[in-house]
Each structure stands twice: as structure tokens, then as C-alpha cells.
Amino acid sequence: MFVSDEPLPAIVLAQAVEVGRREVEEILAEMAAERERTGSGILLRPVAGGWRLMTHPEAAPFVERFVISGRHTRFTVASLETLAIVAYKQPVTRHQVSGIRGVDSSGVLRSLVERGLVEEVGRDEGPGKAVLYGTTPAFLERLGLSSLAELPPVAPLWSDDGERPASARSA
């Protein structure tokens, strides 16, 4: 698991150690619980359809000091906006993303595709057959999520009657 660059499904691990998948899943769950219970700096978590060893979130500032690469550079505001739109609205076209953001998002989408966080997931049925974009397993892994269902809910900014909630009026 230390040398894998992607989460490993239990079935792959079971084949590697020549035991049943269920036994491997039980062992992985026990190992994950043990690491959590002892406060280990390395956690074992189910993410993106497999299991992955990862650094404890509290160690992130220390790890960031040592890991500097193009793949882990900070996101621009435009990248974060675009990634959030794709994550919550997928599948979504470039035109839809640009419409929501209010500016052309072609370059930002291209950058997210190059970083492996967004990918083409199909074609729209409408005129022109526009490319539809969605997030990748790398997106889930980067956020430490098992599935998109774990994304936090988007807080409504407007009520059904068109009135902004009091919390949003002061913003």
C-alpha cells in the first residue's frame, strides 16, 4: 500500500496476499480503527473505491513544508469555483460552468483536466453535442472522500419565496 499511487480495492489486496476479500476487508477495517484509536500520524482510509494510507490531517502543515510540486500547488479562486461547480452540478458543460461563474472558464477547465481532477464524462444530447465534465477518482482522493455523496451540502442562499436568509443579508 505504501508504494501504490492510487487507492487499492480490497479484492486487489486479497489477491496479493492470497486470502478472501471479506477477510481483507475485516483486517483493513481493524487496522483503520487501530490507527485512529492510537492517534497515528498515518491513517488507513477507504477512499475512491479502495483503501489508501495517508498522512493524518493534523500533520498537513509539516508535510506541506517538504512537498512542493506542480501537482500539489494551491488552487486559484477561479479553479476552486470551477471545481465546486463541476463537483455539485456534474455532468456539466463548459458553457454551463461559464454561465454560473459569469466569465469564460475554458482555460480553468483545461487546467483541472490536466491536473486529473476533472474529465470528460460524455456528450450533451442537445445541439452541438457539447462535452460534459465530471470529477475524477483523483478528485475524491484529494478531498479524502469515498464518494460524491460525502460532499457537504450547499447552503441555500435564497428561500423558496426569493427572500435571502438573514445570515446571507449581512454578507
Verify that 114 and 142 share a domain, yes or no: yes
Verify that 142 and 85 share a domain, yes or no: yes
Verify that 83 and 128 share a domain, yes or no: yes
User: Please, what is the Cα angle at 153 between 150 and 159, to 5 degrees?
Assistant: 165
Residue 109's domain comprises 70-150
Verify that 144 and 76 share a domain, yes or no: yes
Cα gap 107→3, rounded to integer Å: 33
For 1-36, how does the pLDDT look when each residue is reduced to its tens digit (9 = 90+)?
877 878 999 999 999 999 999 999 999 999 999 999
In a domain, 102, yes or no: yes
In a domain, 5, yes or no: no
Verify that 51 and 117 share a domain, yes or no: no
pLDDT at 77 over 80: yes
* Whole-number pLDDT of residue 72: 52
CATH number at residue 86: 1.10.10.10
Verify that 76 and 59 share a domain, yes or no: no
Cα gap 62→72, rounded to integer Å: 14
Last residue of a domain, one of 36, 65, 94: 65
Cα gap 107→21, rounded to integer Å: 43
CA distances from 10 to 14, 45, 46, 149, 163 (A): 6, 12, 10, 21, 49
For 97-115, how does the pLDDT look when each residue is reduced to its tens digit (9 = 90+)?
999 999 999 999 999 999 8
Q: For 67, which DSSP code?
A: -
Query: How many independent structural domains does the chain possess?
Result: 2
Cα gap 31→125, rounded to integer Å: 46
Cα gap 18→35, rounded to integer Å: 24
C-alpha cell at position 78? 477561479
In a domain, 161, yes or no: no
In a domain, 31, yes or no: yes
pLDDT, mean of residues 66-90: 78
Cα gap 100→60, rounded to integer Å: 32
Cα gap 83→134, rounded to integer Å: 9
For 107-165, how does the pLDDT look when each residue is reduced to its tens digit (9 = 90+)?
999 999 998 999 999 999 988 899 999 999 999 988 888 999 988 887 654 455 545 45
* Whole-number pLDDT of residue 143: 85
